[in-house]
Amino acid sequence: MNRKSVVKVTENIWEISPDYKAGMIVPARIYSSPELIDGIDEKVIDQITNVACLPGIQKYSYCMPDGHVGYGFPIGGVAAFDIEGGIISPGGIGFDINCGMRLLRTNLTLDDIRPKLETLLDDLFTTIPSGVGSSGYVKLNNSQFRQIMKNGVGWCVENGYASDSDCEHIENNGCLDHADPDAVSAKAVSRGINQMGTLGSGNHYLEVEIAAPENIFDRKAAEQFGIHMDNQVLISIHCGSRGFGHQIATDYLQTFGKCAAKYGLVVRDKELMSAPIDSEEGRRYFNAMACAANAAFVNRQLIVHGVRASFERVFKGASARPLIETIYDVAHNIAKREVYEIDGRKKTVLVHRKGATRSFGPGSREIPEKYRSVGQPVIVGGSMESGSALLRGTEIADNTTFGSSLHGAGRTMSRIKAKQKMHGGEVKSRMKERGILVKTGYMKGLSEEAGYAYKNIDQVIEAVDTAGISKKVARFYPVLNIKG
Amino acid sequence: MPYKHTDSNTCSDVGLIVTGNDLSQLFSDAAVGLIAVTAEPEELVEQKAVDLKLAAESLEDLFYSWLSEVVYLKDAQNLLVCRCEISISQEPPFMLTGKVYGDIIDRMRHTLKVDVKAVTYYRLRVEKKNDHWEAEAVLDL
């Protein structure tokens, strides 16, 4: 790559013109910072410029500041395709469909939980299934799983695993209404049916975090999101649709590979295989993807149910009963049909967000009414050593990045290199010295997920804050972490 | 060892490179190498066998389908494949037939590591190199 091709547009935006590569329909734009842009992998440039060649792409092929190499799209990739003539691509959504973040608030403070931290860690670890081969505590039959695919968190409300308030504070109220279980293979169902309510492994986690007063940057927004006590205890959950979503992605990558020639699509990268949105194959994938998205919302909700039970047990007899409420739940691997003004007219597009979060600004009817004065909560997961961050959506995002922003810190180091740098036990001790207790079924995996394997989350959120596509509300530091 | 795990260049995942004297050995060792990401091969005991029959338009596609099947069996049947008896046709249409043997996941008995969630097309290849075969896949973790 010729770095001269990456031209600075503003303090936080870099652009690559369509002259860079034959076939580019639009320019590519990288949201970053002077500190982060030098570290961007050349393969990321290759990937966002490949995306810029896909039929129907609108305005720009974007990469967020947490961007790193993915399959097809980079992680942190955002692209919108005209529903007339545009494509849908599993590589723009990710294998883990609706991998996302749930953020919960409690009525507890650090002082309330400090005496019972180890007990709470053990109870959460026992209650929330994680790691290889784990199965959920809810035993489902095919008919129930079909209802989950179709109704998402509505199924949890009907069956006592969610409140109406949970439902109201989830993207799309926890249900994409175009889900079609008939578009899903029997193999996908058999991979997913026993995994609902499980964290999985890899970079997925459950974390108990603290909102320290010095880390609240926007008090009005924080209060609107229900964060109003000094050192309030929060819980963040990062996971997705488990094997179910992965099987759907695997199935449709194979389907799209077979139909690319029929639709005259040029395949630059097999991970970018796609189908016209308005084709039989494209429609079926979009509707199967919705089934996986709904299952992922349910997966996180069943984990929330387990978290509530765990807190009830550990704090039984305490002066105040633990109250755990959903602040918000966002998808960061998904494609959504949305309407934007493009070239002076309203256009319906299919926005692919892969490792990118929706970031709708104040006033959006798509977000809970009580958040409309400040914008949508944007939940950003960091490494297990850095904790997470809460931002809010903006009008700038609505008008520039198809209402999208970052999703996490973004990896900088391979798992093999991270493992060579430090032993899991050392990482655990280092975290304990800093007041973070961690529990995992795979100790060596801790080094794969250590803080040094990720970008500096503060630099990453600063980049989007300065660019204005989401604004900082608060940073949270971890005290307990469960890794799959 | 007929397989090795490598840096994938995607940071979050792992590469798998396998060599074999023939396609059957290549594919078999790739399956064992994939499961070795998740479990220690020496801890696995043959407890169950599954018959498989796959077809694809190219060797790469067959390799993708094969490894995806091994991932599927792990999740859907808790089966950790540790040995394969398969035969592969080298001419189109490419077919794989045979049996896989494996252990049932036991969280008390097995050292379980990181889960393989999917096989990707990234750097996917199956190549004949002089007197042996070589294949590569990147696994989504």
User: B115 vs A70: CB contact, 8 Å cut-off?
Assistant: no
B141: nearest CB among A191, A253, A415: A415
B12: nearest CB among A195, A203, A270: A203
Q: Is B140 on the interface with A (CB under 8 A)?
A: yes
Q: Of A79, A8, A86, which is closest to residue A50 (Cα–Cα)?
A: A79
- Answer yes or no: are the C-beta atoms of A480 and A436 closer than 8 Å: yes
Give a yes or no: residue B14 inside a domain.
no
- A243: its two tokens: 């094997």
User: A133 vs B105: CB contact, 8 Å cut-off?
Assistant: yes
* Residue owning tokens 């819980």: A235
One-letter amino acid at A156 equals: C
- CA B37 to the chain's CA centroid: 10
Give a yes or no: residue B17 inside a domain.
no
CA gap B100, B46 in Å, rounded: 10
pTM of the model: 0.96
pLDDT the model gives residue B11: 67
CA A247 to chain B, closest CA, distance in angstroms equals 8
Write the CA distances from A189 to A139, A144, A184, A455, B23, integer angstroms: 13, 11, 7, 36, 31
User: A243 vs B75: CB contact, 8 Å cut-off?
Assistant: yes
Give a yes or no: residue B7 inside a domain.
no
Number of domains making up chain A: 1
> Could you read off the pLDDT of B97-141 as tens digits, one per residue?
999 999 999 999 999 999 999 999 999 999 999 999 999 999 999
Q: Of A258, A315, A310, which is closest to residue A281 (Cα–Cα)?
A: A258
User: A132 vs B11: CB contact, 8 Å cut-off?
Assistant: no
Burial (0-12, 13-18, 19+ Cβ within 10 Å), B129:
exposed
Give a yes or no: residue A231 inside a domain.
yes
Q: Which of A255, A415, A416, A417 to mutate to test the interface with B (most CBs of B within 10 A)?
A: A415
Write the CA distances from B44 to A227, A300, B111, B119, integer angstroms: 49, 32, 10, 22
A414: nearest CB among B8, B57, B115: B8
Neighbours of B30 (CB within 10 A): 27
pLDDT the model gives residue B7: 85
Better-predicted residue by pLDDT, A423 or B12: A423
SS3 A176: coil
CA gap A331, A383 in Å, rounded: 18
CATH number, domain containing residue A157: 3.90.1860.10
Q: Is B17 on the interface with A (CB under 8 A)?
A: no
A-chain CB neighbours of B11 within 8 Å are 68-69, 411-415, 453
Give a yes or no: residue A109 inside a domain.
yes
- The pLDDT profile of chain A, 484 residues, written as one tens digit per residue, is 567 899 999 999 999 999 999 999 999 999 999 999 998 999 999 999 999 999 999 999 999 999 999 999 999 999 999 999 999 999 999 999 999 999 999 999 999 999 999 999 999 999 999 999 889 999 999 999 999 999 999 999 999 999 999 999 999 999 999 999 999 999 999 999 999 999 998 889 999 999 999 999 999 999 999 999 999 999 999 999 999 999 999 999 999 999 999 999 988 889 999 999 999 999 999 999 999 999 999 999 999 999 999 999 999 988 878 999 999 999 999 999 999 999 999 999 999 999 999 999 999 999 999 999 999 999 999 999 999 999 999 999 999 999 999 999 888 888 888 988 999 999 999 999 999 999 998 888 899 899 999 989 999 999 999 999 999 999 999 999 999 8
Give a yes or no: residue A443 inside a domain.
no
Q: Is B6 on the interface with A (CB under 8 A)?
A: yes
CA gap A373, A362 in Å, rounded: 5
Q: Of A396, A413, A414, which is closest to residue A405 (Cα–Cα)?
A: A396
Is ipTM > 0.95 here? no
pLDDT the model gives residue A320: 78
Closest CA in chain A for residue B119: A250
Give the count of alpha carbons within 13 A of B33, CB side only: 27
Q: What is the residue range of A156's domain?
A: 3-412+454-483
Neighbours of A135 (CB within 10 A): 15
Give a yes or no: residue A447 inside a domain.
no
Is residue B79 predicted with pLDDT exceeding 70?
yes
Give a yes or no: residue A435 inside a domain.
no
Number of domains making up chain B: 1
CA gap A397, A473 in Å, rounded: 16
A-chain CB neighbours of B75 within 8 Å are 191, 195, 243, 247
Q: Of A90, A22, A99, which is closest to residue A350 (Cα–Cα)?
A: A90
pLDDT the model gives residue A415: 85
DSSP code of residue A92: G
* Residue owning tokens 């578009």: A183
- A374: its two tokens: 């400040």
Give a yes or no: residue B107 inside a domain.
yes
What is the DSSP pairing of strand A61-68 with strand A28-31? parallel
pLDDT the model gives residue A413: 87
B112: nearest CB among A243, A415, A441: A441
Q: Which of B4, B5, B10, B105 to mutate to test the interface with A (most CBs of A within 10 A)?
A: B10
CATH number, domain containing residue B46: 3.55.10.10
A305 catalytically annotated: no
Write the CA distances from B121 to A42, A191, A266, A375, A414, integer angstroms: 19, 21, 16, 38, 18
Give a yes or no: residue B15 inside a domain.
no
> Could you read off the pLDDT of B13-41 as tens digits, one per residue?
899 999 999 999 999 999 999 999 999 99
- A158: its two tokens: 């009907």
CA gap A334, A330 in Å, rounded: 10
Give a yes or no: residue B93 inside a domain.
yes
A-chain CB neighbours of B117 within 8 Å are 95-96, 200, 202, 243, 246
CA gap B102, B127 in Å, rounded: 27
Q: Of B45, B20, B44, which is closest to residue B30 (Cα–Cα)?
A: B20
Q: What is the residue range of B62's domain?
A: 22-140
CA gap A56, A174 in Å, rounded: 28
User: B141 vs A202: CB contact, 8 Å cut-off?
Assistant: yes
